[in-house]
Structure 1
Amino acid sequence: MKRILWLLAITFTHLSNIALAASLPVEAFANLPDVRFVTLSPDGTKVASLIRVSTPTLDGQMLSIRDIKTNKDIFPVQTDNQKFVILSLTWANNDIVLIKAKYPAIRRGVPTTETRLMKYSLSDDKISSVFSKRIFSRFQFVPQIQSSIVDYLENDPDHILMQISGLGSKMQYESVIKVSLKSGGIKIKQRAQKYIENWLTDRQNQVRIGIYRDDTSYRIYEQQKANGDLRLLWEFEALGENAIWPIGFDHDPNILYVSAYHQGLKAIFKVNLTDPNLSKELVFQNENYDVEGQLIYSKLKQKVIGIDTNIEGEFLFWDQDYIKLNNGLNQVLPESHNVINQLSDDERRYLVYSTGLIESGTYFYGDRDKRELYPIAYRYSQLPPEVLSKPKKVNYTTRDGLAIEAFLTTPKDTEAKNLPTIIFPHGGPISYDSTTFDYWAQFFANRGYAVLQMNFRGSAGYGYQFMNSGLKNWGLEMQNDIEDGAHWLIEQDITDPKRMCIVGASYGGYAALMGVAKTPDLYKCAISIAGVTDLESLVKSSRNYDNSKIVKKQIGDDYDDLYQRSPISKAASIKVPVLLIHGTKDRVVKVDHSEEMYDELKGLNKPVKYVELEHGDHFLSNNEHRLTTFVEIERFLATHIGVK
């Protein structure tokens, strides 16, 4: 069994033996992370995580629980990531680990993703659903989503609050239920209300905020206690600049923190709900980027002490005790970006996640009383920093004068000149790339390719106008931004124009295919992983889901125009080799997109290869599927733009 390295008293000197290898095995990049979802028990004595395993009987992942005092491990749960995929781990109390999982299903002919919440009890050595079977006799139907935790009820470790549909007269909407972690029984705390799809509690565990959505219209409601009179706080349209999103309460039940735009960029505010004007007090902003994330709340001090800003994984503390702790970590680990991502209830023990430009991620366990800090797990043990390539931030200007921020990764110890190149647009498209560790970019660079990742218009993180400029823009200026990045590389003499390929997944796969369709002489090949090939089909298929009007607002609803902005309509223009890879159980972009694109290209005698991943999802969650994908990509690139 390949297990993670629990590094309790040693350093990473064991990695130096492979640091000189010029080309690492494809498995080093393609395998699932050695460890994920590392989480600390409330008393700080145990660490749970999901580890990758490879044995003759299982190629997948296991739940690992380590007792810090005894250094003993148990492995009570395993998955091959085909029947179900684990999405998160959380300690409900010192005895129970909650396990959120998903699996593909079909409801009334519509492909769906189902989620469930399981519990593992250390004292019973037993895994089961958080719900007893008998409670479903109270439901009008079996809910699709059975994993949404609203409140962990820190003062009541035997219960949690969840939201779930299927109950009461408004069964299609979400009720809040109190779930017994011992019996699996439930009690309704908040009755479902029409169009309210999410509920938020305050620090006293009262259900206070309801988030209402009707098609593209949102409203934020507040009540003093569960099932009380709802007061309208704000209303706005989806993707609107006046959106105000609640993110949590302070200990004072009248102080609500929200995310809203400030001078065109998202910032964090707090609002006193007793103020009739609901004035927003600015708490934190960044002058260049959107600020989003979760509040950091101290149970010990009973107040919000900072925020996880989501900017390069940055935690911002405004309490002096935690600023001091964070500064001390940065002195001990000066070459890394260090994030305190969990504290024990007494805040004397903590977990740190350390990462960087070429640091794939190390988890540390800290003890403030003993003044100790030591590594416990390495996220990618086969990727030592010494062999990785440092990405750097670059900027270029598009043909219409827009400034684009991008990230360039070049092969280690190689002059950045006349290189075979991968143009690698991100998915989303309302997402973004950064200089944080990216195993895809590192894989390409390790194979000798330069990699350019650009945040084209429509990407997240750069404010309202930048994001909004990408709405209904697929295949238009968004595509030009990517193309202009390719030309910029050529102008800088970084790229060999005869050896440039465009590669992407999801929206990035769409952009890759549109790139070789709109500019057939620019790229020498294209790779699409789970890519969109038919916008008309994508938008029409959203009719089966309740966010269909938001999809139309983002992509468009002129079907003739959408088809013309689809790679499948331009297959005849494609002249270069194409590789298509897609999972058969993809619930985000149906496998039909790649199957039909393959048929179209094949019918036109175009050079195309299609790799279908049986039971594969949109995220390459299965280790075998990831390895197959990387092997196929490596062969394809070596054939068409390979390093000499």
Structure 2
Amino acid sequence: MKTALKMPFLAALVLSMSACQTFTKKEAVNAEYIPREVLFGNPDITGIKISPDGKYVAYLSAHKGVLNIWVQDFGKPETAKPVTHDTKRGIFRYNWTYTPGTLIFSQDVAGDENFGLYTLNVATGDLNEITKPGKVTSQIAETSHLRPNEVVIMTNERDPRFFDYKILNLATKATTDLFTNTENYAGIIFDKNYHPILASKSNKDGSSTIFLWNSANKKFVKKTVVPFEDSMTSTAVDVSHDGSKVYLLDSRQRDKAALVEWDLKSDKTKVVASDDRSDIQGLQMHPQTGKLLWASSYYLKRDIQFFDKDFQKHFESIEKKLDAEVNVTSMSLDGNQWVLFADSTDKPVAFYFYDVKTQTLSQPLYHTKAMIPYGHRLSAMEAVEIPSRDGFQLVSYLTQARKQAGKSMVLLVHGGPWGRDDYGYNPYHQWLADRGYNVLSVNFRASTGFGKKFLNAGDKQWGRKMHDDLIDAVNWAVKNGYADPNEVVIMGGSYGGYAALAGLTFTPDTFAAAVDIVGPSNLETLLNTVPPYWESFRANLYKRVGDPTTAAGKKLLKERSPLTHVNKIKKPLLILQGANDPRVKKAEADQIYNAMVAKKIPVEYVLFPDEGHGFAKAANNMGANALTEEFLQKYLKGRLEPIEAHVKASSAQVITTPQ
């Protein structure tokens, strides 16, 4: 199943089909604010996955304060027990295999993203380390009901830049080579029999070449080239179980990426789904038959095109009953048991089980039970279109505070930049709105999902037209009465952190303050220190941001780096950084901090020694948000929950000397 279904966090809950959650005590409701613990603490239960045979249900829940995998017999919540016992970082990624009762999960070391793989038999508790975390990274590449005792894994152990593919025998735990990637392919797709079907390779001009497997010669043969302009809006996403058809998201000969079915026997293609306003972004297939069930696109809100009438009947009936956007997040192999995620912008996150045969929908199950008493205080999100100064429509999302602190607003900028903001429940929007701030998230140019013209319009526009879009959105908010021009803070993570720094340097009079979360300050050092396994994306990255190997590229990168313009900063800055971040190194935060200290410009810098690119641990996430909340209260005068307990419980280190 391949989808682009949006999830604000790992989601789903596990109980029997007829069960509902019980509440053993009455939670005290805070009259002033929704507590951070409710918004950002460990969920009661999340990440639900039904085993393929329908015998078990697995999920993530805290065990001794740390997120671990729990398992229960399906329909028997009284059998639930933790099957992992991590005491440090927690576990966030896992999958069922098709070997009965066997899970495979990954874990890194303190956020370094060098993931190791582990298998676990939930009946016996047998736990095996397959690849070691910390030095190389490994991922699950494919599982198949046609080869139930094996999975395909990928690892960069041989060459840190590129991934080899191996078959893991789940009984013996031995691995055998499936494909040794000496040709440096960016990615390889296999069918459900683990036969290679298609590969892609990045070229120096930013284009990519698609290769098809020649079974007679046992090698990949060049088939076609995807031009640079289509390189981020065209990709192979799935193959039929027998490998005879490839499904592509393809923007060639069009602006918006369509879902295209490529019949490899006849070498003919046909458009299966398209949308005039946005790219097709996801598809879902039946896990056993491989039949295409739906394809989805996303402009202001999600649209679905169905390809199975029975599935459509069940799905539309459920959405009508729940009056919410519904996603199917897990299915049994036979497709008869579903887990549903119901997404409403201003309701507590709810999950459901659905039985296809009996058409039974369970009672709502809640990601965070403590949110229920605060449900009436959540704020609705509005989907809006904001015109840019040069004619684009910027799909944006506005959440207004019920009890405003003046006319203050937080411009919350997404990361990537090749990602997007969506319509739906957003804990950060709810948190900031609850504290008294209107919140605006903008899909600036380079955001994905709106066609290649809009995405490519962001090329080499960091700190320029991409930033202009954000400023146009602020001006729109001021003009329409959503913000006082003197009471706007810019905040974001990753690219959003860069945007926060750009806000203080390139437009020093626009924002009252900025919050930079793991954001780059020096684009040249950023591009020179990307993880080695990003090698296949390097040429594309250079063409879209700037090339640090050329004089012209270095000049552009220096010009667009906030560090270069640090002397222009007039407003307060809060920096939050993970010490082990492999994408935006700690040096990015150090450089801007050191420069500000040297120029005696006020700055606050907080380092989390056990985190990477963002804050995975609930205690650290709450600590970072507590510090952010205090910072915002200083300059926007909103409501403030006491911060001492959450900061103390986190690993936060306040930096006071040059690094």
1:281 pairs with one of 237, 254, 270: 270
The answer to whether the 8 Å contact 1:266/1:291 transfers is yes
1:304 Cα deviation after fit: 2.6
1:61 pairs with one of 67, 73, 76: 67
1:172 Cα deviation after fit: 7.1
Indicate the larger mover: 378-387 or 266-275.
378-387
The answer to whether the 8 Å contact 2:93/2:105 transfers is yes
The 2-side partners of 1:364 and 1:219 are apart by: 42
Question: Is 2:601 the partner of 1:606?
Answer: yes
1:526 pairs with one of 514, 530, 545: 514
What TM-score, normalized to structure 1? 0.88
1:37 Cα deviation after fit: 2.3
The answer to whether the 8 Å contact 2:71/2:122 transfers is no
Aligned to 1:583: 578
Aligned to 1:98: 104
Counterpart residue identity of residue 306, structure 2: F
Aligned to 1:327: 316
Indicate the larger mover: 158-167 or 67-76.
158-167
Query: Helix, strand or coil for the counterpart of 1:399?
Result: coil
The answer to whether the 8 Å contact 2:151/2:168 transfers is yes
The answer to whether the 8 Å contact 1:208/1:225 transfers is no
- Structure 1 residues 517 and 101: alpha-carbon distance in aligned structure 2, compared to 1, 3 A threshold: same
Aligned to 2:138: 146
Question: Is 2:541 the partner of 1:564?
Answer: no
Query: Helix, strand or coil for the counterpart of 1:553?
Result: helix
Indicate the larger mover: 343-352 or 196-205.
196-205
- Structure 1 residues 25 and 226: alpha-carbon distance in aligned structure 2, compared to 1, 3 A threshold: farther
1:313-352 to structure 2, matched below 5 A, reads 316-333=305-322, 335-352=323-340
Query: Helix, strand or coil for the counterpart of 1:79?
Result: coil
The answer to whether the 8 Å contact 1:580/1:610 transfers is yes
1:459 Cα deviation after fit: 1.0
The 2-side partners of 1:568 and 1:576 are apart by: 15
Query: Helix, strand or coil for the counterpart of 1:113?
Result: coil
The answer to whether the 8 Å contact 2:186/2:199 transfers is yes
1:221 pairs with one of 211, 218, 222: 211
Deviations 1:316-358 (A, max 9, x none): 431111111112212331x211122222122222211111212
Aligned to 1:304: 292
The answer to whether the 8 Å contact 2:296/2:305 transfers is yes
> What is the number of equivalent residue pairs in this alignment?
614
2:239 pairs with one of 249, 264, 275: 249
Identity level (%)? 20
1:295 Cα deviation after fit: 3.9
1:78 pairs with one of 80, 85, 91: 85
Counterpart residue identity of residue 136, structure 2: Q
1:279 Cα deviation after fit: 3.6
1:561 Cα deviation after fit: 2.5
Counterpart residue identity of residue 569, structure 2: I
Aligned to 2:482: 494
What is the CA RMSD across the aligned residues, in angstroms? 3.0
The 1-side partners of 2:97 and 2:241 are apart by: 22
1:525 Cα deviation after fit: 1.0
- Structure 1 residues 130 and 492: alpha-carbon distance in aligned structure 2, compared to 1, 3 A threshold: same
1:93 Cα deviation after fit: 3.1
1:405 Cα deviation after fit: 1.8
Aligned to 2:653: none
Aligned to 2:122: 122
Query: Helix, strand or coil for the counterpart of 1:435?
Result: coil
1:209 Cα deviation after fit: 1.6
The 2-side partners of 1:422 and 1:94 are apart by: 48
1:389 Cα deviation after fit: 0.7
**Larger RCO (alpha carbons 8 Å, 6+ apart):** 2
The answer to whether the 8 Å contact 1:294/1:309 transfers is no
1:115 Cα deviation after fit: 1.5
The answer to whether the 8 Å contact 1:44/1:350 transfers is no
Question: Is 2:50 the partner of 1:40?
Answer: yes
What TM-score, normalized to structure 2? 0.86
1:238 Cα deviation after fit: 4.5
The 2-side partners of 1:163 and 1:234 are apart by: 25
1:84-233 to structure 2, matched below 5 A, reads 85-103=91-109, 113-130=113-130, 144-150=136-142, 152-165=143-156, 174-215=163-204, 216-225=206-215, 228-233=218-223
The answer to whether the 8 Å contact 1:398/1:484 transfers is yes
Deviations 1:72-123 (A, max 9, x none): 11102133553x6533333443310111222369xxxxxx631122111023
Query: Helix, strand or coil for the counterpart of 2:601?
Result: coil
The 1-side partners of 2:503 and 2:32 are apart by: 31
Aligned to 1:630: 625
- Structure 1 residues 435 and 224: alpha-carbon distance in aligned structure 2, compared to 1, 3 A threshold: same
**5+ residue gaps, structure 2:** 1-11, 548-552, 640-659
1:554 pairs with one of 539, 544, 548: 544
Deviations 1:33-58 (A, max 9, x none): 443321111122321111135xxxx4
Aligned to 1:643: 638
The 2-side partners of 1:584 and 1:521 are apart by: 31
Aligned to 1:136: none
- Structure 1 residues 4 and 459: alpha-carbon distance in aligned structure 2, compared to 1, 3 A threshold: closer
Query: Helix, strand or coil for the counterpart of 1:326?
Result: helix
Aligned to 1:51: 61
Counterpart residue identity of residue 38, structure 1: I
The 2-side partners of 1:445 and 1:33 are apart by: 21
Counterpart residue identity of residue 422, structure 1: V
Question: Is 2:281 the partner of 1:292?
Answer: yes
The answer to whether the 8 Å contact 1:85/1:621 transfers is no
The 1-side partners of 2:216 and 2:293 are apart by: 27
Aligned to 1:138: none
Indicate the larger mover: 202-211 or 236-245.
236-245
Indicate the larger mover: 488-497 or 444-453.
488-497
The 1-side partners of 2:410 and 2:314 are apart by: 41
- Structure 1 residues 553 and 242: alpha-carbon distance in aligned structure 2, compared to 1, 3 A threshold: closer
The 2-side partners of 1:175 and 1:493 are apart by: 55
Query: Helix, strand or coil for the counterpart of 1:365?
Result: strand
The 2-side partners of 1:75 and 1:85 are apart by: 12
Counterpart residue identity of residue 82, structure 2: F
- Structure 1 residues 85 and 588: alpha-carbon distance in aligned structure 2, compared to 1, 3 A threshold: farther
The answer to whether the 8 Å contact 2:15/2:76 transfers is no
Counterpart residue identity of residue 212, structure 2: E
Question: Is 2:379 the partner of 1:389?
Answer: yes
Query: Helix, strand or coil for the counterpart of 2:257?
Result: strand
**5+ residue gaps, structure 1:** 106-111, 134-140
The 2-side partners of 1:200 and 1:599 are apart by: 45
The 1-side partners of 2:67 and 2:312 are apart by: 36
- Structure 1 residues 331 and 293: alpha-carbon distance in aligned structure 2, compared to 1, 3 A threshold: closer
Counterpart residue identity of residue 73, structure 1: A
The answer to whether the 8 Å contact 1:220/1:232 transfers is yes
Indicate the larger mover: 363-372 or 114-123.
363-372
The answer to whether the 8 Å contact 1:296/1:307 transfers is no
The 2-side partners of 1:28 and 1:226 are apart by: 58
Indicate the larger mover: 494-503 or 29-38.
29-38
1:211 Cα deviation after fit: 2.3
- Structure 1 residues 142 and 23: alpha-carbon distance in aligned structure 2, compared to 1, 3 A threshold: closer
The 2-side partners of 1:562 and 1:392 are apart by: 36
Deviations 1:436-469 (A, max 9, x none): 2211111100101001111111111111010001
Aligned to 1:454: 442
